[in-house]
Amino acid sequence: MSWGSLLWRNLARNKLRSALTGGAIALAIALVCFLATMPDGMNRLLEQFASGTRVVVHNEAGLVYPLPYAYLQKVRAMRGVVAATSWTWFGGVFVDEEGVSFPNFAIEPDQVGVVFEDYGIAPEALAEFRSRRDAALVGRATLRRYGWKPGDLVTLKGTVFPVDLRFRIVGEIPSERAPHFWFQREYLEQAVAASGGRLDFLGTIWVRVDDPARVDPLLREIDETFHNSEAQTSTETEKSYFKNFFGMLEGLVMLIMIVTALVAVCIVFIAANTASMTVRERMREIAILKSIGFSRRLVFGMLVGEATLLATLAGAVGAFASLGLSQLVRAAAGGWNPAMGPLASFIVTNTILVEGLFLAFFIGMLSGVVPSLGAARRGVVQTLREVF
């Protein structure tokens, strides 16, 4: 018999209790590992979404405030701008749905293929998009969600504008990260004009820049150009734009991280409770061990060792389970279930795995310290008197 087998036998003494405590620790560590992927995962997701040579111009006061439509031509004329297109939020609702369930924008069809070259829209689809006034390009996820296909007719009820528009889907935006529904701005302008209104504003301008080195100067140039205008602009890189757009999500991530930390603390208490019960049940044995020469330090080490072994083993199960699941999601996203694409950014790395194992180790240590210290410090005669 070795010290290791002694610890293991003691853990196996109450299998159900050890399994339940281990299960709680494993689950908590798996949760912590998953949530630890959030900050890097969000960043990775933004990197995926964002192009290094695409910038976005919007009203400095906020995304809900429009910009004059004339700004688009001025931006297009600036040095380094390869192409630019505007997005104007239509806020269309499909059939009987209560709210907007996919982003739909009125855009200029002539340059969209260049501005969003990385989306890989088929040239034939772009050509048809330019040639048909009622044409719509729809993101792959949205097509899949509603079972639409090119050639289908779709009507959206306007919520921002008092018009309902019928579209013919002419092609797909073959990107999992773009669920958009794009249609010709001219179609909306005419519909609004027919209803007695006038569409002379836009929401945002998306700009393709010729050289990444030109991006920063261009950001400044655009904002300086419109500095004294009726609507001042705020121009930023696509990554920065999405980061701000998902700002609330970052707050949520922070909240989740705090809750995770609290879960870890709760698990320490649960494991400590288990360790306390174990120690209380074994007071007689501990007294015997001390009698035959086990020092206080050794008894303390043995009891803490048991708690640490349980927590570390359970933590390893939890950490490796999270790693396995993360790899499964990545495999799914790259193969049979592309809809899981964004989730594939949340990767349990080796670093997170090691952090999870260390956390489990410390949970075990912390949970074992107090009850073990009490048992180790209790005098052997006092214990013998109490238990015999």
Partner 1 sequence: MIDLEDVSRVYRRGADEVRALDHVSLHIERGRFVALMGPSGSGKSTLLHLLAGLDRPTSGRVTVAGRSLNDLSEDELARFRSQHVGFIFQFFNLIPVLSARENVELPLLLTSLGKSLRRERAATALRVVGLGERALHMPGEMSGGEQQRVAVARAIVSDPEIVVADEPTGDLDAKNAVEILSLLRDLRREFGKTVVMVTHDARGEQFVDEIHHLDKGVLDRTVAGGAALRAAGDAT
CB of 294: closest distance to partner 1 in angstroms? 7
Q: What are the C-alpha distances in Å from 288 to residues 285, 305, 370?
A: 5, 19, 21
Closest to partner 1 by CB, 136 or 304: 304
Closest to partner 1 by CB, 232 or 291: 291
CB of 382: closest distance to partner 1 in angstroms? 9
Work out the burial of residue 84: count CB atoms within 10 Å of its CB; fewer than 13 is exposed, 13-18 middle, 19 or more buried: buried
The string of DSSP letters for 290-312 reads: HHTT--HHHHHHHHHHHHHHHHH
Q: Report whether 186 contacts 131 (CB < 8 A).
A: no
> Which long-range contacts (C-beta less than 8 Å, at least 24 apart) are formed by 60-65?
60/223, 60/231, 60/232, 60/233, 60/234, 61/231, 61/232, 63/203, 63/204, 63/245, 65/231
Is 3 among the residues that bind partner 1 (CB under 8 A)? Answer: yes
Is 253 among the residues that bind partner 1 (CB under 8 A)? Answer: no
Q: Which residues of 5-30 are buried (b: 16+ CB within 10 A; e: fewer)?
A: eebeebbeeeeeebeebbebbbbbbb
The string of DSSP letters for 17-86 reads: HHHHHHHHHHHHHHHHHHHHTHHHHHHHHHHHH--TTEEEEEETT-TTS-EETHHHHHHHTSTTEEEEEE
Closest to partner 1 by CB, 186 or 386: 386
Is 15 among the residues that bind partner 1 (CB under 8 A)? Answer: no
Is 9 among the residues that bind partner 1 (CB under 8 A)? Answer: yes
Is 261 among the residues that bind partner 1 (CB under 8 A)? Answer: no
Is 65 among the residues that bind partner 1 (CB under 8 A)? Answer: no
Look up residue 201 and give its DSSP letter.
E
Is 295 among the residues that bind partner 1 (CB under 8 A)? Answer: yes
Q: Pick the stretch among 210-218, 227-235, 268-276, 293-301 that binds partner 1 (CB under 8 A).
A: 293-301
Closest to partner 1 by CB, 140 or 290: 290
| φ, ψ at 116 (rounded to 5°) | -115, 45
- Options 284, 331, 337, 386; binder of partner 1; rule CB under 8 A: 284
- Options 27, 289, 321, 325; binder of partner 1; rule CB under 8 A: 289
Is 384 among the residues that bind partner 1 (CB under 8 A)? Answer: yes
- Options 294, 340, 342, 347; binder of partner 1; rule CB under 8 A: 294
CB of 274: closest distance to partner 1 in angstroms? 17
CB of 388: closest distance to partner 1 in angstroms? 7
Q: Pick the stretch among 7-15, 94-102, 147-155, 327-335 that binds partner 1 (CB under 8 A).
A: 7-15
Is 280 among the residues that bind partner 1 (CB under 8 A)? Answer: no
- Sheet strand arrangement including 93-94: 93-94, 153-157, 164-173, 135-139, 181-184, 104-107, 81-89, 204-209, 54-59, 233-237
Q: Pick the stretch among 26-34, 192-200, 248-256, 290-298 that binds partner 1 (CB under 8 A).
A: 290-298
- Options 288, 316, 332, 340; binder of partner 1; rule CB under 8 A: 288
- Options 124, 200, 216, 285; binder of partner 1; rule CB under 8 A: 285
Query: For residue 145, what are the contacts with CB-CB under 8 A and spacing of at least 6?
Result: 102, 179
Is 331 among the residues that bind partner 1 (CB under 8 A)? Answer: no
Q: Pick the stretch among 22-30, 34-42, 286-294, 307-315 that binds partner 1 (CB under 8 A).
A: 286-294
Instruction: Round the CA-based radius of gyration of the chain to a whole number and report it.
Output: 31
- Options 155, 212, 381, 386; binder of partner 1; rule CB under 8 A: 381
Residues binding partner 1 (CB under 8 A): 1-3, 6, 9-10, 12-13, 284-285, 288-298, 379-381, 384, 388
